[in-house]
């Protein structure tokens, strides 16, 4: 009887083990995807341990699992921002953030899932800070200045970080994606830009004309300088020629032999003419007198 009872107990124990394996076998471990973490609850109580990505064994098969994506996310938000001129400007903002893995148990306790964090904390705070910072901007068109956009981005970043980090959200960047001004402001800015472009065009044309005139003046001055140099050259040559003639005349006046030499050169040229005759007035004449065909009768 005792042996039979032991066998029955053994069989029942084996059946119980098989039943546990069948019912809970897959719950003795958990595999978590990359970029995610797991938080467990046991009968509604949040466990403080954070389970990292990969295979986690062994685990309590009675745990209920809550998986959080802790990779960086981007949330796009469009908000109407009032400025001091009582106009509403549409601003598109993107927020780059991620859930802090170590804060996941507290997030589950106080807020809930990822969607709850976005809906309860991130979006309302972002809209609130945008509206609040818009009140410090004087005119709607100031949104187009780099200074205003940088101021708004920095204000949003610091405000969101201060508010969200204690709630387990790390904000890495806030960027202004697009700005849409009221229609009549946009038209006025476009007309102003067109006028500015026309002014710049006229300035460029005036500068081109000024450059051309300067080039013409420079060319005229160069031509004037060249003409002055040519006139100076002619004057120098004329002075040199006058000096040469003056020197010759002076030399002739002071030197009778030069006159005789020139007369002999003339006689030499006359001697080549067969009809030419040379007569001397008297023996005392210093120079012969050339006479061309004097006293001849035509035959």
**Helix, strand, or coil here: 285?**
coil
Domain-wise residue ranges, the chain: 21-69, 73-181, 183-254, 255-292
Q: What is the pLDDT of residue 79?
A: 86
Q: What is the pLDDT of residue 72?
A: 96
Please report, for residues 13, 58, 60, 75, 109, the alpha-carbon distance to residue 26 in angstroms, rounded to integers and kept in the order given.
20, 10, 11, 36, 26
Mean pLDDT of the chain: 81
Q: Say which residue, 36 or 256, is predicted with more confidence.
A: 36
**Helix, strand, or coil here: 271?**
coil
Q: Which two tokens stand for residue 4?
A: 């039979």
- Fold held by 73-181: Tetrahydropterin Synthase; Chain A (3.30.479)
Residue 41 φ then ψ, to 5°: -125, 145
- Tell me the torsion sign for CA atoms 52, 58, 60, 61: positive
Q: What is the pLDDT of residues 282-295, one digit of tens each?
A: 555 555 555 445 44
Task: Express as a percent the part of the chain with pLDDT over 70.
Answer: 74
- Give the separation between CA 185 and CA 143, rounded to whole angstroms: 12
Q: Which two tokens stand for residue 62?
A: 């009675």
CB 293 within 8 A of CB 276: yes
Mean pLDDT of 3-19: 63
């Amino acid at each position: 009887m005792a042996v039979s009872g032991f066998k029955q107990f053994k069989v029942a124990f084996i059946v119980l083990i098989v039943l546990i394996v069948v019912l809970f076998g897959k719950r003795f471990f958990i595999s978590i995807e990359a970029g995610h973490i797991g938080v467990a609850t046991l009968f509604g109580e949040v466990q403080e341990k954070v389970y990292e990505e990969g295979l986690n064994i062994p685990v309590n098969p009675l745990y209920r699992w809550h998986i959080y994506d802790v990779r960086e996310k981007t949330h796009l938000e469009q908000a109407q921002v009032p400025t001091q001129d009582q106009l509403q400007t549409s601003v598109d903002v993107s927020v780059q953030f991620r859930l802090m893995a170590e804060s996941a148990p507290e997030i589950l306790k106080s807020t809930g899932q990822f969607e709850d964090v976005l809906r309860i904390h991130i979006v309302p705070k972002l809209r609130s800070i945008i509206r609040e910072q818009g009140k410090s901007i004087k005119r709607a068109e100031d949104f187009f200045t780099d200074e205003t956009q940088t101021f708004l981005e920095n204000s949003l970043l610091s405000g969101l970080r201060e508010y969200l980090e204690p709630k387990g959200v790390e904000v890495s960047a806030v960027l202004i994606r697009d700005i849409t001004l009221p229609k009549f402001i946009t038209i006025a800015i476009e007309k102003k830009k067109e006028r500015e472009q026309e002014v710049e065009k006229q300035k460029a044309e005036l500068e081109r004309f000024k450059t051309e005139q300067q080039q013409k003046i420079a060319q005229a001055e160069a031509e004037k300088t060249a003409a002055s140099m040519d006139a100076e050259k002619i004057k120098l040559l004329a002075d040199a020629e006058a000096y040469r003639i003056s020197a010759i005349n002076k030399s002739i006046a002071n030197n009778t032999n030069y006159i005789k030499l020139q007369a002999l050169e003339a006689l030499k040229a006359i001697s080549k003419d067969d009809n030419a005759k040379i007569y001397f007035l008297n023996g005392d004449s210093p120079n012969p007198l050339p006479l061309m065909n004097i006293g001849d009768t035509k035959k």
